[in-house]
Amino acid sequence: MAKSYKTLYRKLPDELFDMLAEHYETSVLDKIYAGFMSERPVTLRVNTLKYSTRQVMEIFRSENIKFERVLWYDDALIVRNLREKDLEKHRLYQEGGIYLQSLSSMIPPLVLNPQSGANVLDLTAAPGSKSTQMAAMMQNKGFILANEINEIRAERLRYNVERQGTTIIKVRRGDGKRLEAEWQQYFDAVLLDAPCSGVGLFQLDAPQTYRGWSPKQVRELSKEQKKLLERAFWALKPGGILVYSTCTLLREENEGVLEWFLNKFSGAVILENLGFSLTGAEQVQRFTKPVGQSTAVLTVIPSALYEGFFVAKMRKLV
């Protein structure tokens, strides 16, 4: 392990360690660094619009595909004896009956908990993991506007929406900061899984996960996150629910963005109860007081099973 830590410190920028150390206790930092050095198994979500979880499990058992259930989500499975590229060849994947997705990525839609028949906005939606998850949660009843600014990613989003058999998702290709006036206060629920520096996804043996990271990138992304969060709030109905999530662990992109937001918008409040329990996960449930009020946010620490993630749940009062 000493050799692994030595490699970790050599490969990752000093500034990253400094920024993490400003925000986390040593015991938590040790878990984060161990998470960076972990290799996670393949995880998937059953698309209940096409198959039940029981049907998928029966197929897997018949083919000797070894899997485990996930305590906090009935439709999620952990596969132990196949790689992603193997599962991508499986007929269930080809038919859209399963969707390969990290466990942490499944959390924000569960926290948002959109109801059947609701109007929902996924402001930065590609490749469609969370949009299609929400469509299944809503039993394909209601409306989801899935927005993506990048043309190539928007095409991937359309492809996944079609393959998953969802009929309530409309894909909009455009800047999420410039939604049309018709969408103002239109949505019952909004998910902003914001573009971020991806620190929670860092894996030591996958240089592409951390190669482009820099403090400058973090500062630029923080500005973008604030603009997107402002537009997400603009699109939300009074009384509606907004979930802000990232796959980073840095305060500048997480709590710092929320502090700015709550100071600017008095009509927003962070909900103490996420309405969701992450049973069995290595996590930190951290409480902060950004504007003199107690606020609850969830930080999932990266591990051998989970990517690092940050989730906060808000209500629009007026």
Q: Which residues are designated catalytic?
A: 247
**Helix boundaries (H) for 178-316:** 215-235, 255-264
**Strand positions, DSSP E, 87-165:** 98-100, 119-122, 143-148
Token pair 């937001």: residue: 261
Pairwise CA distance, residues 25 & 122, whole Å: 33
Measuring CA to CA, which residue among 128, 136, 140, 142 is closest to residue 188?
142
Tokens at 284, concatenated: 């930190």
Cα separation values, 290 from 28, 173, 260, 294, Å: 21, 34, 9, 8
Left, alpha or beta for 302 (phi > 0: left; psi -120 to 50: alpha)?
beta
**Residue partners of 259: CB distance under 8 A and separation at least 6:** 290, 291
Pairwise CA distance, residues 253 & 235, whole Å: 21
**SS3 (DSSP) at 31:** helix
**SS3 (DSSP) at 294:** coil
Tally of CB atoms within 10 A around 279: 9
**SS3 (DSSP) at 285:** strand
* Cα radius of gyration rounded to whole Å, the chain: 19
Tokens at 256, concatenated: 């710092």
